[in-house]
A and B are shown apart, each in its own frame.
Chain A
Amino acid sequence: MKFDTPAGTNPIDQMKVVGKPVDRIDGKLKTTGTAPYAYERHDVVKNAAYGYIVGSAIAKGRINSMNVVDAKSAPGVLAVITALDGPKLGKGNSNTANLFGGPDVEHYHQAIALVVAETFEQARAAAHLIRVDYTRTDGKYDLAVQAKSAPLKGDGSDEGSGAPPVHRVGDFEAAFAAAPVQIDQTYTTPDETHAMMEPHATIARWDGDKLTLWTSNQMIDWSRRDVAKILGIPKDNVRLVSPYIGGGFGGKLFVRADAALAAVGAKAVGRPVKVTLQRALIMNNTTHRPATIQRVRIGTDRSGKITAIAHESTSGNLPNGDLETAVSQTRLLYAGANRLVSMRLALLDLPEGNAMRAPGEAPGMMALEVAMDEAAEKLGMDPIEFRVRNDTQEDPEKPGRRFSHRNLTECLRRGADMFGWDKRMAKPGQRRDGRWLVGMGMAAGFRNNIVTKSAARVSIDAKGVVTVRTDMTDIGTGSYTIIAQTAAEVMGVPLEQVVVLLGDSDFPVAAGSGGQWGANNSTAGVYAACMKLRAAIVQKLGYDQARAEFTNGTVRAGNRSVSLGEAVGQAGLTVEDGIEYGDLDKQYQQSTFAGHFVEAGVDAATGEVRLRRMLAVCSAGRILNPKSARSQVIGAMTMGAGAALMEEAVVDKRFGFFVNHDLASYEVPVHADIPHQDVIFLDETDDKSSPMKAKGVGELGICGVGAAIANAIYNATGVRVREYPITLDKYLDRLPQVV
């Protein structure tokens, strides 16, 4: 189905099943521990041996030799495969560094050996017996140092808003110089790690030259392509199965060393091999969100109208790595005649930087929306009024190109009402509650909506059971449920009569999970396939296509009516189709919007921050399932709280690695950190996005929330911290004296 004109009325608009806050259809499996995750596929793979990966002990240099004599003779060991004697692997399109290093080492904990043994413990014990002789070479590990000579670079990926090396509209410098009110500040965000609950894990089994990988992966088809490329085998010989994923956040968009080396190990020992990345390896072995240094300049006239806005960001990566596109949202969020955005990419020898939940906007909004708060204060304006004054219905870089649907102002107004914004003291440091300094902060939320083709196969059997097969993934988001709701709505059957099978490369290629594109695109693909199935059923029955209705498990036209099971008969009926897009996303800017509100307490003595209330009001098209969507937004708000207050992969700038590489020392929020969270979805549809009229929401919740927290801390204390995470050591000496 080609979607190239705005959606008219269609079966989804019935909203009998879609739009209802139904429980997850896979919830019981998860709460009873019976959802099969990659490392525990005892149901399909017997007799798997265990692989254990050895990571490089240096960040940059060369392996001179590896002594594996003791490891090979250790109890239970089946094979020791090293980077020096193992197969030479290719590099996936989505990988920057090789997944199997050596003799040259590209980053710390790069995989350099795999030990395969009868048990996990034996493999791990043997791995500790490998002795490696390295020659260390100097590397570049300090972004602040390398930033000084970092060249300009455009965004090579097609994900997110994207940006060329330098993008100008009007004359920023002249307009900024002339602006009566100016903000010119630099903000930094640290490296962050995904810290998903389920580590990367894969079981590999070869059947002749055919390879099956049971793995934990967000993007089945990308990864199937990359597995083939890495191993040098035809894509048709690779099957990837990933029905349940214990969190990914972008860390599982791509094939990682567990998948590549499980395949290598299984080949070597002639039996299935399972590999998981040990927690302490994940941070340096896999990808992370790169740190940024961001300069934001905003010039306004006396009335608060932005006349000049600039956002320049520098991030670092390995050679051939990508940027953190932290300036993207600044091209679209606020009006202003004179504009400048640019990005620089420094060369670093740290592990590979790549996507993490809302790449670009998540750290970008943490800078832009604090700068907006600073500008509002300088203007003496309420920060909401300042944003409303600079709201726009047009792409600020391309006058005349409208947003498909944009209701940022309503997000901010509704949020202000709900949150009691009128009780906020404009002057900071004025509110006290016992030992706590209390403040409120807000920020806009912004994340683009991405459309991408997505297919599904839909069947009906003689009992009228509808089965959907698509390689779409559910990374904890609720894909199973919204796909079932979509099929139930279109086919006119109860939700219980829909079976959803996901995450298998034998199924049609779907959008996958990333960039908050999964929900809208994958359900649109299922919608397309279901509409085709409807047409096939009607044609088989000889009914009038124009008059046929699907309702209560029957198809009806005029006086004629038959159950779906009877309609398709014993043979059943299967069709396949997908959604493909025209250029509505070029004609219109498709984005999602939010208002984030936070109340925070800061301990006047110790500087500890404790959040008190959080609210997000979201404008994101039709909400397919308010319950799972809410879960997505509160999860993202929580992750944003981590980014604002505690998360930092600390770089050892001498030796080039993330030091706090476990979950004891890389702190993410726990229950006690997260207060009452409210989420409100504006009741709306976006007819330019897809027949579902929905947009993404899973990343919107993290975009802006960190800035709202920073602004609340400022409002509480009068101390502005521009260096994330906002830990007490950065402002303790600026707090009021209490002793």
Chain B
Amino acid sequence: MKPFSYERVTSPAEAAAAVARTPGARFIAGGTNLLDLMKLEIETPAHLVDVNGIGLDRIEPTPEGGLRIGALVRNTDLAADATVRRDYGVLSRALLAGASGQLRNKATTAGNLLQRTRCPYFYDTNQPCNKRKPGSGCSAIGGYSRPLAIIGSSDACIATNPSDMAVALRALDATVETVQADGTTRTIAIADFHVLPGKTPHIETALKAGELITAVTLPKPLGGTHIYHKVRDRASYAFAIVSVAGVIQPAGQGRIALGGVAPRPWRVEAAEGDLPKGAKAVSARLLAGAKPTADNAFKVSLVERTIGAVLAEVKGKA
């Protein structure tokens, strides 16, 4: 870990300004990912701006009938929130499928959206990695790629986004609210928040330098049956091999987003029209153009089977 300076701020605007004025500065909230990366010198911020004291820790209804989740709401609290459990069950289930109780107690809503890939080559600083060191190459391609992406990846990077929460947010069409150093605010659709790697896999989100997430907003409840089905090698405390966030309506229409298969939560709205036709049809359109490796080709059929399990569970509940 490189020596760094540290300050605490008391408002979102102050936080954004503090990061903007110090080169190499980063926000820190729960620190459940950033600190690990700093110890390995994968992240080497010169300055940390601690945003734990800026509020943004409330879950409130919006005038549109949705829900506004403060950036600093902890994953544990978000998962346990009565409104979330009642109206956005897929989000609660996704959160509880991730990490451990201890980590969820620390991890924040905004931080969860910004966690970085768990590609093992990204974590080993002896190995080339375009995400960690742009232009150095991708050692995962041709290496151990079982946990990695089958779609949305590029010749520069085949990493996956590890978040469960983000997959549910993608299914729910959440929006991300931010503030920038000059005080301007904007909203970013979750679909546009995580960007594909292309030739620049070190750029992972639409955020600008110093831009701070202040909240995540959910539109009004969709109804339907909410399921988050996470497939993993062990029963808990493991990243998804494949996960499916499903919000399915009684008539069979609905939404499906995937985790564990792409550099960002993977959703293809056009494919959802095929939901009444069953998993095979949806899966084929969701994964059209997939480029799996020999190690992870099984994920293609696993996606189909997991969607099948989700649809079967919906039927079972109906």
Contact = CB atoms under 8 A, between A and B. Distances in A.
Contact of B234 (A124, A646, A732): A646
B302 A667 contact: no
B289 to A, nearest CB: 21
Nearest to B311: A739
Contacts of A121: 1
Contacts of B229: 606
Given A610-B235, A670-B235, A732-B305, A659 B121 contact: yes
B143 interface: yes
Interface stretch (B21-29, B122-130, B151-159): B122-130
B41 A128 contact: yes
Contacts of A727: 233
A7 interface: no
Contacts of A422: none
Contact of B118 (A435, A603, A664): A664
Interface residues of B, number: 45
Interface in A664-678: 664-665, 667-673
Interface string A601-626: 00101111010000000000000000
Interface in A648-673: 650, 652, 654-655, 659-662, 664-665, 667-673
B224 to A, nearest CB: 20
Contacts of A605: 305-306, 308-309, 312
Contacts of A733: 298, 301
A128 B231 CA distance: 37
A44 interface: no
Interface string A268-306: 000000000000100000000000000000000000000
A738 interface: yes
A667 B238 CA distance: 8
Given A435-B312, A665-B118, A124 B127 contact: no
A670 B234 contact: yes
Contacts of B308: 605, 738-739
Given A608-B231, A659-B120, A670 B237 contact: yes
A282 to B, nearest CB: 14
A645 B305 contact: no
A672 B302 contact: no
Interface string A53-95: 0000110000000000000000100000000000000000000
A283 B39 CA distance: 18
B127 A655 contact: yes
Contacts of B41: 128
B304 A739 contact: yes
Interface in B289-309: 296, 298, 301-302, 304-309
B146 interface: yes
B278 interface: yes
Given A605-B306, A605-B308, A655-B139, A739 B236 contact: no
B144 A659 contact: yes
B124 A661 contact: yes
A179 interface: no
Interface of A: 57-58, 75, 121, 124-125, 128, 280, 435, 603, 605-608, 610, 645-646, 650, 652, 654-655, 659-662, 664-665, 667-673, 727-729, 732-733, 738-739
Interface of B: 1-3, 39-41, 118, 120-121, 123-124, 126-127, 139, 142-144, 146-147, 229, 231-239, 241-242, 278-280, 296, 298, 301-302, 304-309, 312
Given A607-B302, A739-B280, A739-B305, 11 more contacts: A125-B2, A606-B231, A652-B139, A652-B143, A659-B121, A660-B144, A670-B236, A728-B231, A728-B298, A733-B298, A739-B308
